[in-house]
Amino acid sequence: MNQREKEEYLREYGILKAQGKPFFPYAVAKDGAMAVVVMAIIITMSLVLGAELGPKANPTTTTYVPRPEWYFFFLFEVLRVIKPPSLVPLATIGVPTIGMILLFLLPFFDRGPERRPERRPIAMVTFVTVFGAMAFLTYQGANAGSPFAVEKPTPPAVKQAGGATLAEYELGKAVVTSSGCLACHKLGENGNSGPGPDLTHIASRLPAQGIARTLVNPTAPMPSFKNLPAQRFNAVVAFLSQLK
Amino acid sequence: MPKLPKLPAPPLPAALQEPPPRPGESNGKGGPIEDAKAAGINVVDWVDERTSLSGAGRWLMFRKVPKGTNWFYTLGSATMFAFLSQAVTGVFLAMYYRPDPAGGAYESIRHVTNEVFLGQFVRGMHKWGSSVMVILVFLHMGRTFLFGAYKYPRELNWVIGVVLLILTMVMSFTGYLLPFDQRAYWATIVGVNINGTGPLIGPYLSDFLRAGPEFGATTLSRFYAIHMLLLPGAIVALIGAHLYLVAKLGTTAPPWMKAEQNPELRKVDV
Ligand code: HEM
């Protein structure tokens, strides 16, 4: 905005303001009504949804899938989607930092005098894209597990068998996901590549009995999983022995 | 209506007549009801004589909002009410909370949730209020963006707003650890480690948050102090600055509003 546009704006605004209504009571009444609505929503949510308290924090378990508050899901999702370690800092800190700096500087690079949305196409496209992307990532993040989730397509043989085989496979996958295996093992695209060996094709290396033996009696630092309930233990073995 | 004749003057000479009461005094004739009515005015006068605040009050309350101001303009104050609700419920939670990672923190939250009268209700309000506040901040930001309200002369208010947005998110991040259940603990570990991967200041930031290289005993009290002293103070101060600028500059008119030219003003009297 150049000096003339600034003065024009101030003059136009001055007239509109003079034609307006006093803040008290007109705007105050609307704000008050809105405040009542906000409080009603908070109170209703508290009454209906309550406040649960999970099990006590236990730093020695590795069996917990961390979930942030929902409005951080989009960040979590970025972390989950971007896998190569060299890109992770960019994803986790870089993207939000750049986003924040751009947000800070918005009034300094978008200085055109135009305020009507329909005449600011670049701003509107950016707005829709950013909000759309955040909504999409939040939705994805809400439905996905942690960054440690296992994303391997179910083998067709298991899919065809269906029924109990499929159910056991899925259960095994869920247990592996939630037992912290990926903190030490790589599985397909997911997980860390150490200290344990890559499990992507474990079944071609180790028969089911071997896997079961490792789970019961592993070499340190891998913890023993012999205390898993039998059904879940067998499911893990069944799942891993499909990973050819 | 015909003009009525004036009443005759009272028989007393002016010097003997009782003068009318001066502001802030009573001539005792009004009785207790009149006195009670005057009491409020007197108190306000007393304060105003010493502070001159009434001018500021008038400036704040009787400024005009431009033509076309609609419901979207309530989102900012709605955010503020959500914040006030957080402040009040937070004070009640702080009365019971103990930032003790050895079990005291979890135990105190369990106590509030299960045993204290209305404890779960207040905790629920605080917990869900945070989500409501985050949503409202984003809606309010969306409104100011769509209406082009960040443009001249309100750039500074936008910048303050972005700081408020960041502080709100950090509030939520630090608050999430406090119940010290599994979810809180592991999500915060992941969050702090994510900070640690950041360039340059990342490792220092996560060391600061953890109060050392390991997640230890002081981490929780550090999060607690940030969550209930440092950030709320900063947020209150910044909301003050934000609102001062709103009152000083006025809120924008909706962008599609055009000032009508008053034909009366165009008439030239010769
Ligand atoms: C704690 C958070 C916040 C509170 C309590 C708050 C409060 C308010 C209030 C009460 C107004 C008056 C008019 C209205 O409601 O629209 C306002 C205006 C404004 N706010 Fe905020 N706000 C917050 C966060 C933000 C954020 C995150 C931004 C953007 C980055 C922002 C930018 C603005 C701007 C540019 C105006 C001027 C709007 C106009 O003149 O039309 N605020 N704020």
Q: Which of A33, A55, A120 sits opposite B181 (nearest CB)?
A: A55
Pocket test for ligand 1, best of B134, B137, B140, B238 (most atoms within 8 A of CB): B140
pLDDT digits (tens, 9 = 90+) for B84-114: 999 999 999 999 999 988 888 999 999 999 9
At residue A57, the 3 state secondary structure works out as coil
- Average pLDDT value for residue range A104-126: 92
Residue B142, min C-alpha distance to chain A (Å): 8
Q: What is the pLDDT of residue A177?
A: 72
Min Cα–Cα distance to chain A from B107, Å:
9
Residue B27: per-residue pLDDT: 67
Asked if the peptide bond before residue B5 counts as cis, ω within 30 degrees of 0, the response is no
> Does the bond joining B153 to the residue before it have cis omega, within 30 degrees of 0?
yes
* More confident call, A238 vs B125: B125
Contact B184 A57 (CB under 8 A): yes
Q: How far is CA B94 from the centre of its chain?
A: 20
Q: What is the mean pLDDT of residues B169-175?
A: 93
Task: Report the pLDDT value the prediction gives residue A4, as an integer from 0 to 100.
Answer: 93
Confidence class for position A116, pLDDT limits 50, 70, 90: very high
- pLDDT over 70, % of chain B: 88
Residues A78, A91 contacting (CB under 8 angstroms)? yes
The class that CATH gives domain A66-144 is mainly alpha
Q: How much is the pTM?
A: 0.77
Distance from the alpha carbon of residue B141 to the mean position of ligand 1, in angstroms:
7
pLDDT recorded at residue A198: 84
Which residue's alpha carbon is nearest to atom 12 within ligand 1?
B76
Chain A and chain B share a number of CB contacts under 8 A equal to 236
Predicted local distance difference test score (pLDDT) of residue B148: 93
List pLDDT tens digits, range A87-113.
766 766 777 788 889 999 999 999 889
Higher pLDDT, A227 or A49: A49
Q: How close is the nearest chain A Cα to the Cα of B145, in Å? A: 8
The CA dihedral of A6, A12, A18, A21, to the nearest 10 degrees, is: -100
Residue B270 pLDDT grade (very low, low, confident, very high; cuts 50, 70, 90): low
pLDDT score of A199 more than 90: no
Q: In this predicted structure, which of A13-27, B135-149, B234-248 has the lowest mean pLDDT?
A: A13-27
Contact B124 A56 (CB under 8 A): no
pLDDT for the residue numbered B265? 63
Ligand 1 atom nearest the C-alpha of B74 is: 15
- Model confidence at A150, pLDDT cuts 50, 70, 90, reads low
Nearest to A46 among B125, B145, B250 (CB): B125
More confident of the two residues B243 and B264: B243
- Tens digit of each residue's pLDDT (9 = 90 or more) over A14-27: 999 998 999 999 99
Residue contact A58–B185, C-beta within 8 A: yes
Instruction: Report pLDDT for A47.
Output: 94
Q: What phi and psi values does residue A21 have, to the nearest 5 degrees?
A: -110, 160
The reply to whether A4 touches chain B by the CB within 8 Å rule is no
Whole-number pLDDT of residue B112: 93
Whether B217 has a pLDDT exceeding 90, the answer reads no
Closest CA to B68 of A63, A155, A20, A68: A20
Specify the ligand 1 atom closest to the Cα of B72.
16
What pLDDT sits at residue A183?
A: 65
Quickly tell me which residue has 């309350």 as its tokens: B61
Its sign, for the CA torsion A202, A207, A208, A214, is negative
Look over chain A and give the mean of its residue pLDDT values, rounded to a whole number: 82
- Domains identified in chain B and CATH numbers: 71-250 (1.20.810.10)
Specify the pLDDT at position A180.
67
Closest Cα in chain A, distance from residue B25 (Å) = 30
Average pLDDT (B2-28) is 73
Alpha helices in B67-154 (DSSP H): 75-94, 104-114, 119-146
Residue B214 pLDDT exceeds 80: no
> What is the structure's pLDDT at B41?
86
Decide which of A11 and A150 is more confident. Answer: A11
Whether the pLDDT of residue A147 is over 70: the answer is no
Question: In percent, how much of chain A has pLDDT > 70?
Answer: 81
Q: What pLDDT, on a 0 to 100 scale, did the predictor assign at position A77?
A: 76
**What local confidence, expressed as pLDDT, does residue B22 receive?**
74
CATH of A156-240, one of 3.30.465.10, 1.10.760.10, 1.20.140.10, 3.10.310.30: 1.10.760.10
Other CB atoms within 10 Å distance of the CB of residue B220: 25
The ligand 1 site (C-beta within 6 Å) comprises: B 73, 75-77, 79-80, 83, 137, 140-141, 144, 147, 149-150, 154, 157-158, 161-162, 164-165, 168, 239, 242-243, 246, 251-252
Interior angle at CA A200, CA A199 and CA A203, nearest 5: 75
The radius of gyration computed from the CA coordinates of chain A, to the nearest angstrom, equals 27
Instruction: Point out the least confidently predicted range of A137-151, A167-181, B75-89, B143-157.
Output: A137-151
- CB-CB under 8 Å, B125 with A54: no
Q: What pLDDT digit, counting tens, does each position of A34-92 carry?
A: 999 999 999 999 999 988 888 787 665 545 566 778 888 887 777 667 666 667 667 66
Given a cut of 90, whether residue B50 has pLDDT beyond it is yes
A43 touches chain B (CB under 8 A): yes
Cβ–Cβ of A71/B134 closer than 8 Å? yes
Which of B159, B181, B184 lies closest to A104 in CB terms? B159
Spatial contact of B263 and B203, defined as CB atoms under 8 Å apart: no
Please tell me the distance from the alpha carbon of residue B83 to that of residue B86, in angstroms, as a whole number: 5
Ranges A37-46, A181-190, B217-226: which has the least confidence: A181-190
Kindly report the average pLDDT of chain B as a whole number: 87
pLDDT tier, A216 (very low <50, low <70, confident <90, very high otherwise)? confident
**How many Å apart are CA A56 and CA A64, to the nearest integer?**
12
Residue B5 clears pLDDT 90, i.e. is over it: no
Q: What is the pLDDT of residue B76?
A: 97
Taking the C-alpha atoms of residue B75 and residue A35, their distance in angstroms, rounded to an integer, is: 9
Q: Identify which has the larger pLDDT, A169 or A66.
A: A169
Beta-carbon separation of A13 and B173 below 8 A: no
Q: Taking 80 as the threshold, does the pLDDT of residue B213 lie above it?
A: no
Residue A187: what are its φ and ψ, rounded to 5°? -140, 105
